[in-house]
């Protein structure tokens, strides 16, 4: 039974968007089966071949209007609206399905497809549907636009704020993430240190699955919806 005023911190990964038709990374037929991580998700890969990297993210951005939030995204928005305590979503996903599903408190720790970043002055602006290497920054005019994505070796966004939320969590839920990528994979340990009850939602145990106190196994559209119903009922 979840306390009606509990602070609930939720970490989501590619698995929550899988049923919307967005490929995960590490599945056999996933994104990394078609692209080497070093080529498309590192600053070195971008320096070597900016066109390849920009086109990789252009293709994923173009997919966004063709997909829709699923029942798991909508259930989290419903939880935020109806639960009396605070509900925070920290997503590793770069899609916009939490927002389109109705969630308001969303942190994109690995960036967003719909955002562009100036590598020279760190200005951010809404990405055009098709970016090109060397696009100028609208603020400083440097030809240094890049996708606003956190690549390996770069610092994820808003870490101080995220650790502060984890330190206050009464419940921590990780949904559809393989637990392979840090610092996100370390959030369960952080939440447990804060005394939170920890729940993993996945099709199978993740790489850090043994650190969770509770497991809900199955597709997120079902398991997350059932969990939200168990907390707030049919409101």
Is 177 exposed, middle or buried (CB count within 10 Å of its CB: 0-12, 13-18, 19+)? buried
Rounded to the nearest whole angstrom, what is the least distance from the CB of residue 62 to ligand BJW in the complex? 14
Least spacing, CB of residue 224 vs ligand BJW, in Å: 8
Toward ligand BJW, which CB reaches closer, 85 or 115? 115
Q: Among residues 21 and 136, whose Cβ is nearest to ligand BJW?
A: 21
**85 or 124: CB nearest ligand BJW:** 124
Contact yes or no for 143/33 (Cβ under 8 A) = no
Beta bridge partners of 125: 116
The DSSP letter of residue 152 is T
**Smallest distance from the beta carbon of 175 to ligand BJW, in angstroms?**
7
Residue at shortest CB range from ligand BJW:
15
Question: Locate tokens 């971008």: which residue?
Answer: 46
Indicate the residue among 18 and 88 with the shorter CB distance to ligand BJW.
18
Q: Which of 120, 193, 125, 183 is nearest to 154 (CA)?
A: 183
Residue ranges that bind ligand BJW, judged by CB under 6 A: 13-15, 18-19, 24-26, 30, 41, 92, 94, 110, 149-156, 159, 176-178, 180-183, 201-204, 206, 219-220
Cα separation values, 21 from 7, 63, 158, 174, Å: 30, 9, 28, 20
Residue 76: which H helix or E strand, with range? helix 71-82
Residues in the chain: 235
Considering the complex, what minimum distance in angstroms separates the CB of residue 181 from ligand BJW? 4
Query: Residue 48: which residues within 8 A CB-CB, separation 6 or more?
Result: 39
197 is catalytic: no
Minimum distance of ligand BJW from residue 179's CB (angstroms): 7
Residue number with CB closer to ligand BJW (120 or 181): 181
Catalytic residue among 73, 78, 110, 197: 110
Which helix (H) or strand (E) segment holds residue 106: the answer is strand 106-108
Give me the active site residues, please.
Answer: 110
């Amino acid at each position: 039974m979840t306390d009606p005023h509990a602070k609930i911190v939720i970490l989501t990964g590619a698995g929550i968007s899988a049923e919307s038709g967005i490929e995960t990374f590490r599945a056999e037929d996933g994104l990394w089966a078609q692209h080497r991580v070093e080529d498309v998700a590192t600053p070195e890969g971008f320096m070597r071949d900016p066109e390849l990297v920009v086109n990789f993210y252009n293709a994923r951005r173009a997919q966004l209007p063709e997909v829709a939030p699923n029942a798991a995204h909508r259930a989290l928005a419903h939880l935020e609206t109806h639960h009396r305590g605070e509900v925070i979503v920290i997503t590793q996903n770069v899609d916009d399905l939490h927002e389109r599903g109705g969630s308001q408190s969303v942190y994109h720790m690995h960036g967003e497809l719909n955002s562009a970043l100036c590598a020279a002055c760190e200005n951010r602006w809404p990405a055009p549907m098709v970016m090109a290497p060397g696009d100028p920054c609208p603020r400083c005019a440097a030809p240094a636009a890049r996708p606003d994505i956190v690549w390996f070796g770069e610092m994820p966004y808003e870490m101080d704020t995220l650790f502060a939320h984890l330190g206050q969590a009464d419940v921590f839920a990780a949904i559809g993430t393989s637990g392979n990528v840090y610092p996100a994979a370390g959030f369960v340990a952080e939440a447990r240190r804060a005394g939170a009850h920890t729940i993993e939602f996945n099709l199978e145990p993740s790489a850090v699955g043994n650190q969770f106190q509770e497991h809900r196994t199955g597709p997120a559209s079902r398991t997350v919806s059932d969990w939200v119903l168990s907390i707030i009922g049919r409101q």
